[in-house]
A = this chain, B = another copy of it.
Amino acid sequence: MSSPFELVAKKGLARGGVLATAHGAVQTPVFMPIATSGSVKTMTGDEVKALGSSIILGNTYHLLLRPGPDILKQAGGLHKFMKYEGPILTDSGGYQVFSLSKINSTDEEGVTFQSHIDGRSIRLTPDSSLEMQAAIGSDIMMQFDDVAAGNSTRERYEEAMERSLRWGKASKEAFEKHVRHDALLFGIVQGGTYEDLRQRSAEGLKEIGFDGYAIGGLSVGESREDTFRIAKKVAAMLPEDRPRYFMGGGMPEEIVYYVSVGVDMFDCVLPTRNARHGQIFVWKGDPKECVREAFTRAQEGAVDFRIAEAFYEKIQMTSEKTIADFSPIDKFSDCQTSLDYSRAYLRHLFKAGEILGLRLATAQNIRFYLRLMEELRAIVRE
């Protein structure tokens, strides 16, 4: 099985690579903005690309419920439906079933859940998840997995991990049945905060054989210390020649840490969600120097807030502080709207409920995350 991933640089444990997909190559480490329902919040696909994004993530659960597989198939897949030419990764839907649908029950074959939109009962299995991801026309598909809640018992973590291995095998069979040959399939390492369970999971997945490997079941309520510890351990368990994807994390300082221990791919709702709540991430100084300092601290094993304080701060745009701040939204950003518009104007837009405020804040935060990755890629490739 040839690898879609080429490792081109190393710095300590950190890696620089190139991931080939059917819709173009992706330089790693990379952040994937989230297009939950066929749109990165507030933006067209072209706009996300213009901010420097090379790959986005679509949510199988949301797209299954709306617009549904029939419309996506008629449209010729999500790329055509949303008019986006770049690579798309889709999750399997498992995590959203677990977190969004009030009623869901898991058995050995799959999960039955009620739609959070209209209450109808839907069943998702390894086979139907991959079938849906095929309807989406995703470039990188995730195996269907069993997700244990944060702070579960060891028994539950073990059960979910073992079932995820069985579903990983079933997902691969479904992938080979439903999916065009140029798509990729990733396995997901489970096992909670237990290193031996993680080890068993990683070994089992490698036996099945995937194009890439994700670290699942973290950032779900465990301590940040545990997250960091497990992420580092799991990264070390995974094959060098395959991409490593930390699912659903995280804050900027977390991403710096995960990169420093050898993770390659990230997605997170924080830049878009926080933007909608009026919170923006801004550089403390020149991004190149800021990220270098943050990366150095991460390599030295600094705790999360020590990494964070090296490079950025959060500003709540609805607070009084920015009412007469006529400086740019972020003078260290290279996002044009963040240079063009003032914090006072952005605050006014939020107070007045103007949609343009959501757009400017979203652009700032997405560009912040993407710039962070650009600087990390530069450091790793030196």
Within 8 A of B (CB), among A344-358: 344-345, 348-349, 351-352, 354-356, 358
Closest Cβ–Cβ distance, residue A59 to chain B (whole Å): 11
The reply on A237 being an interface residue by CB < 8 A is: no
Contact A67 B337 (CB under 8 A): no
> Which of B62, B74, B323, B352 sits near A326, CB closer than 8 Å?
B74
Q: Using a CB-CB cutoff of 8 Å, which residues 7-48 of chain A contact chain B?
A: 37-39, 41-44
Q: Which of chain B's residues have a CB closer than 8 A to the CB of A326?
A: 74-75
A269 within 8 A of B: no
Of B75, B324, B355, the residue contacting A71 (CB under 8 A) is B324
A327–chain B nearest beta-carbon distance, Å:
12
Q: Which residue of B lies closest to A62 (CB)?
A: B352
Q: Are A356 and B44 in contact (CB under 8 A)?
A: yes
On whether A75 and B352 interact (CB within 8 A), knowing A42-B359, A359-B42, the answer reads: no
Write out the residue numbers on chain B whose beta carbons fall within 8 Å of the beta carbon of A37: 348-349, 352, 354
A224 at the interface (CB under 8 A from B): no
In the complex with contacts A67-B348, A344-B67, A355-B356 CB distance below 8 A: no
Output the residue of A344, A345, A351 with the most chain B CB within 10 A: A345
Contact yes or no, A355 B354, CB < 8 A: no
* A342 interface hit (Cβ, 8 Å): yes
CB within 8 A of A41: which of B66, B83, B354? B354
A283 within 8 A of B: no
Q: Which of A234-254 contact B (CB under 8 A)?
A: none
| Neighbouring B residues of A359 by C-beta, 8 Å | 42, 355, 359
> What CA separation (Å) do A228 and B37 show in the bound complex?
45
Q: Is A340 an interface residue (CB 8 A)?
A: yes
The 0/1 profile, CB within 8 Å of B marked 1, for residues 63-85 of chain A is 00011000100110000011100
A66 to B345, CA, bound (A): 11
Task: Flag if B337 contacts A44 (CB, 8 Å).
Answer: yes
Bound complex: CA A87 to CA B83 (Å): 34
Per-residue CB proximity of A320-346 to B under 8 Å, as 1/0?
Answer: 000110100000000001001110110
Asked whether, in the complex, the Cβ of B355 is within 8 Å of the Cβ of A38, the reply is no
Interface contact A344-B42, CB-CB below 8 Å: no
With A344-B67, A348-B66, A358-B355 in contact, is A74–B39 under 8 Å at CB?
no
In the complex the two chains form, what is the Cα distance from A137 to B342 in whole Å? Answer: 18
- Give 9 closest A-B pairs by Cβ, nearest first: A37-B352, A39-B356, A42-B355, A67-B348, A39-B354, A83-B340, A66-B352, A81-B345, A74-B324
> Knowing that A71-B323, A74-B326 are A-B contacts, what are 13 other residue pairs whose CB atoms are under 8 Å apart, sorted by A's residue number?
A37-B349, A37-B352, A38-B345, A38-B348, A39-B352, A41-B355, A66-B348, A67-B351, A74-B344, A81-B344, A81-B348, A82-B345, A355-B355
Q: Can you offer 28 A-B residue contacts whose CB atoms are under 8 A?
A: A37-B348, A37-B349, A37-B352, A38-B348, A38-B349, A39-B349, A39-B354, A39-B356, A41-B355, A42-B355, A42-B356, A44-B356, A62-B352, A66-B351, A66-B352, A67-B344, A67-B348, A67-B351, A71-B348, A74-B326, A74-B344, A75-B345, A81-B342, A81-B344, A81-B348, A83-B345, A355-B359, A359-B359
